[in-house]
Amino acid sequence: MMLNPIPPRKAASLILIALAATSMFGCSTTDQALSRMSPYINQNADMFFRANGMPLQAFQFQNGDKVYRWSSANANVYMPAFTTFSGNVDSMGFISGSAHTTGGFTANLQCVLDIHTDKTNKVIRIVPIVDTWGKWETSRCNEALR
């Protein structure tokens, strides 16, 4: 079976659409979200987990340092479809044209962090792994962290 190659112009369009979707739902950690993480630096990791919930998993290094993987509760938000119409109305009042509908999907909103600690369980750094758009803000981590 032979596959037809994608024309270069269409391939470029598909790449642009993929990049736009990635930027919309990829990492969007804001300065506000980073400032919500900073009070936990040099504190015991238990302080973070008491305020925000338990980690999903932990990995311990030979030297005693750990990396905790933490995730916010997932939130799914329906993104409604919208339709654009372009056309004409003739002298008799008849409408002719075309409509294009876009959207109509569910977006998964999530914050995933790696929390690096030393052997005394003191937080060394917090690294955002996934930070999608939030329900009301541009960062899910900013919404999720207390």
Tell me whether residue 21 is in a domain: no
The C-alpha atoms of residue 20 and residue 29 are separated, in whole angstroms, by: 17
Structurally, the chain folds into a number of domains equal to 1
Name the more confident of 143 and 8: 143
Tell me whether residue 114 is in a domain: yes
Name the more confident of 61 and 4: 61
Residues 6 or more apart in contact with residue 42 via CB below 8 angstroms = 122, 123
pLDDT at res. 7: 53
Tell me whether residue 22 is in a domain: no
Encoded tokens for 80: 């409604």
Helices (H) and strands (E) in the chain — how many of each?
4, 8
Which H helix or E strand runs over 132?
none
pLDDT at res. 30: 76
Q: Which whole number is the average pLDDT over 25-36? A: 71
Query: In sequence order, what E strands does the chain have?
Result: 57-60, 66-71, 75-79, 82-89, 95-102, 105-109, 111-117, 123-131
Instruction: Residue 106: give the domain boundaries.
Output: 28-83+96-144
Name the more confident of 72 and 17: 72
pLDDT at res. 115: 96
**pLDDT tens sequence across 88-141:** 888 888 888 898 888 788 888 899 999 999 999 999 999 999 998 888 888 899
Tell me whether residue 88 is in a domain: no
Tell me whether residue 69 is in a domain: yes
pLDDT at res. 95: 87
pLDDT at res. 23: 46
Tell me whether residue 77 is in a domain: yes
**pLDDT tens sequence across 34-91:** 888 999 999 999 999 999 999 999 999 999 999 999 999 878 888 788 888 888 888 8
